[in-house]
Structure 1
C-alpha cells in the first residue's frame, strides 16, 4: 500500500501517451543485441538459453556463423548476457517487436508448424483476412482475452492495459466477457492439453471477420514449455494467427503496439 501511495505522489494520475510519445526506459529489458566485433563464437549463450532461442546464423559481411536470437522464443531472461565473458551480448530496451508473420521474428527459418496437418497455410489465410478488416475495425475493437495455459505473467500485463496508466480504451479498444461480442482473441499460454478444445470452441464462437493475436513467448512458440507432452508449441499449431507479440511477458506498451499493428492503425 505504501508503494502505491508513493507512486501516486511521485507521478500523479497519468495516462501513458504511447504511441504518440515513446516511453522507452533504461530499466526495461527487451530483445538481446549482439556486438559481433567482441563475439568469439564460444556458444555459451546458446548453451544457457532455456528456450533454445539463441541460434547460429549467417551474418551479412561476416565470415562464418554468428549467434542471433529467435524473438518468438526469447523470454528476455538475461542468461545469455550473464554467460558472455566478452560482453558481446546485452539486453536492449526495444519492445516494439510484434509482427504479422512469425518468420519475421526469427533469425533461423521456421520449418515446423507453417501448415497444419491438413496442409492449410494459415499464414496465407491471415494475410488475406488482414486485407479485409481495415475498414471494419478502423475505429473500434472488442477483445476477448483467453488464457490457454499460461503462468499468468502475460495476463497481469494484459490487465494493466485497462488501468488509468495505460488506458487502452482511449483507442476505442474494449475487453469483453464473451467471444460472441469480440472482434479479436488475445491469447496467452502455450495451449495446454486441457485448454486446447476450449480455445478452439472460443475461436468458433467468435463472429467473423476476426483476429487472433498471440501474446507472449509461450503463445508464439511454446516458450519454456516447447515440445512438452502437456501442451502445444504455440497457438498457431491449431489456430490462424494474425500478429505475434514476443516477450516473457510483453510489457503493456508492447501489447498496445501489437494490437494496433493487427488492426492497421500504426
Structure 2
C-alpha cells in the first residue's frame, strides 16, 4: 500500500488542464479545413462525395474521412480540433465560410444535464475506432467524469443516446428501441463520419446513411474517428462550459 501511495505521489497530477488551458495539437493533425476556390488544376473528386466543385468548391465534413487525398492546393487541413456542430449544415465548408462551433443546449436542458449527463452508447455497425477514441476520454489523462459526463449500461439510466457506426439494417431496430427506452427529454450525439452520413459505406443498401435518418440529432462530431479533443470540445460547448 505504501508503495502505491509513493508511486501516486511521484506520478503527480496526470489529467490535462483543458479547458482551462488550450490544447496544442501536433502539426500532422488534420483538423478544420480551409477550402480554396476551385481551379482548373484541381484534382479528382472525393470517392465518398465529401468534396464537390460545384459553387466554387465545398467540403462536407460530415462525409469527410480526413484522409488528406484531396485536390492539391484546394483543401488544407489546419490543426484546429473544434469541429463539432449542432446544425448539420454547419459541416459544409465553402471558400471563406464562417467557422461554426457547437451551440449550447436550450436553458431548460442545460439545467437538467449541466452537472450530470449520462449516455447510452450504441455501436451501429462501425469498425470500433470511434468507440476506442471515445473510451480514451475515460482515462486519467482526460477524465471525462470531472465534467459529470459518463456512459451507462442501461438506456433507462441515460439522458442521451451516443451513436457510432453507419447504422446497418440489422442495428436500426436496436437503435430505435434504445432511443425509445431513454426517458424524455433526451439528446442524441452522432459521433464519427459513419454515424453522421454513412462514412465509407454511404449509399450502400445495407446502411441507413447515418443516425439522423432515424432520429433527430443534437450534436454532430465529424472525423474518422473523431479525436478525443474534438469530442470533448463539442460536449462542453453544448453544456455551455466553454465558449
State the TM-score, normalizing by the size of structure 2.
0.84
- Corresponding residue to 1:71 among 54, 61, 68: 61
Specify the SS of the correspondent of 2:112. Answer: coil
Match in the other structure for 2:82: 96
Match in the other structure for 1:263: 239
User: Post-superposition shift, 1:35?
Assistant: 4.2
In 2, the alpha carbon distance for the partners of 1:131 and 1:223 equals 33
In 1, the alpha carbon distance for the partners of 2:209 and 2:180 equals 21
Residues 35, 59 of structure 2: 8 Å contact kept: no
After superposition, residues 231-250 of structure 1 pair within 5 angstroms as: 231-250=207-226
In 2, the alpha carbon distance for the partners of 1:74 and 1:54 equals 8
In structure 1, stretches of 5+ residues that fail to align are: 1-10, 59-64, 109-126
User: Post-superposition shift, 1:89?
Assistant: 2.8
Match in the other structure for 2:21: 21
- Corresponding residue to 2:147 among 156, 162, 171: 171
How many residues align? The count is 222
In structure 2, stretches of 5+ residues that fail to align are: 1-10, 95-102
Task: Report Cα offsets for 1:107-158 as digits up to 9, x if no partner.
Answer: 48xxxxxxxxxxxxxxxxxx9x845301111111111111111111101001
User: Post-superposition shift, 1:12?
Assistant: 7.3
After superposition, residues 1-266 of structure 1 pair within 5 angstroms as: 14-25=14-25, 26-36=27-37, 40-44=39-43, 46-47=44-45, 49-58=46-55, 65=56, 67-80=57-70, 83-84=71-72, 87-107=73-93, 130-266=106-242
Greater than 4 Å deviation, 4+ residue runs: none
Specify the SS of the correspondent of 1:220. Answer: helix
State the TM-score, normalizing by the size of structure 1.
0.77
Structure 1 residues 43 and 27: CA distance shift in structure 2, 3 A: closer
Task: Report Cα offsets for 1:89-112 as digits up to 9, x if no partner.
Answer: 32221221111110111148xxxx
Task: Report Cα offsets for 1:59-97 as digits up to 9, x if no partner.
Answer: xxxxxx2x23111111100111xx52xx34322212211
Aligned-pair RMSD on alpha carbons?
2.1
